[in-house]
Amino acid sequence: MIPPGVVDAVEADVHRLCARYAARLQFHGWHHVNFVRTKAGRFAVLNGAEVSVVETAALVHDVNYLVLRNSAAAAGSGLRCAILARAGVPRHVAAWIDRIVDEAEMASRGKDISLEAQALSDADTLFKALPVTPVVLAHKYLEENGIGLRELANKICGEQQSVHDEGFYFYNAEAAAQYAHWAAANLQLWQCIRESLDDADVSALLETVSGSQATA
Ligand SMILES: [Fe+2]
C-alpha cells in the first residue's frame, strides 16, 4: 500500500525531528517511536492489518508531543499530515493514518477499533506495560510532560484499569498471552504508588528528595 521508499522517508523525517528535539522528548523520543514501529509491524502481520500503513502510523503516532506538551494525539494532526505529505503519502492514506492514530489512543480506545489501530495500540500499550518502563522511563515522562507522580499514577490507573478489566488491554490474543502478566503487575504497581502517596510519611519523604534534588 505504501511503497518502502516512502516509509523510509517518513522514518528519516521523524528520526530527524526526534534528534533535533531530543531534550523535549525524554519519554516519547526515537527509542519509543522505534520500539512501537517494530512491534506494531509484527502485530500487523499477526492480525492481517495493512503492515506498511501500521508501521507508518507508528512512526507519526506521537508527534503531538512536539506540538504541545502533555497533549492528546489529535494535537499532532497537522504536523502528522505535513510529515506524511513531505514523504509522498497520498492525502487519503494520510487521513486514514491520522484516524488510526486517534482510534488507538489509550484514553479513548474502544473494543471494536480497526485491525490497523489494534496493531498500533498493542505495540504502544506494550511499551507502557514493559517491566522496565516504570524503572527506567517513568521519571522521564514526568519531566517531559511537566506533571507530578500522583497525576501520572491517576492517569495510568484511570486510563488502563477499565480496558484491562473489560478484556481488551491487548487486542491480539498472542500479545495477551505473552504480556498480560506484565500489564497486571504494572497496574498493581501504579495502584500501590497511588496508595503510597496518601501516606503522609511517604509524601514527606518525596518532598525531601525533590527538595534535595532542587538544591543539588
Ligand atoms: Fe506512543
The mean pLDDT of 151-159, rounded to a whole number, is 96
Cα of 205 vs centre of ligand 1, distance in Å, is: 31
Cα of 204 vs centre of ligand 1, distance in Å, is: 33
Cα of 58 vs centre of ligand 1, distance in Å, is: 8
Cα of 215 vs centre of ligand 1, distance in Å, is: 33
Judged against a pLDDT cut of 90, whether residue 201 lies above it is answered with yes
Rounded Cα gap, residues 145 and 161, in angstroms: 21
Angle at Cα 10 formed by Cα 132 and Cα 6, nearest 5°? 130
Rounded Cα gap, residues 125 and 159, in angstroms: 11
Cα of 214 vs centre of ligand 1, distance in Å, is: 29
Q: What is the pLDDT of residue 211?
A: 78
Burial of 46 (0-12, 13-18, 19+ CB in 10 A): middle
Please state, as a whole number, how many other Cβ atoms lie within 10 Å of the Cβ of residue 63.
26
Cα of 211 vs centre of ligand 1, distance in Å, is: 31
The mean pLDDT of 125-141, rounded to a whole number, is 97
Cα of 127 vs centre of ligand 1, distance in Å, is: 8
Judged against a pLDDT cut of 80, whether residue 140 lies above it is answered with yes
Q: Which residues contact 125 (CB under 8 A, 6 or more apart)?
A: 106, 169, 170, 183
| pTM of the predicted model as reported, rounded to 2 decimal places | 0.94
User: Domain boundaries in the chain?
Assistant: 4-196
Cα of 61 vs centre of ligand 1, distance in Å, is: 6
CATH class of the domain defined by 4-196: mainly alpha
Cα of 33 vs centre of ligand 1, distance in Å, is: 7
Judged against a pLDDT cut of 90, whether residue 145 lies above it is answered with yes
Helices H / strands E in the chain, number of each: 12, 0
Helix axis angle for 149-165 and 173-196, nearest 10°, is: 140
Cα of 41 vs centre of ligand 1, distance in Å, is: 14
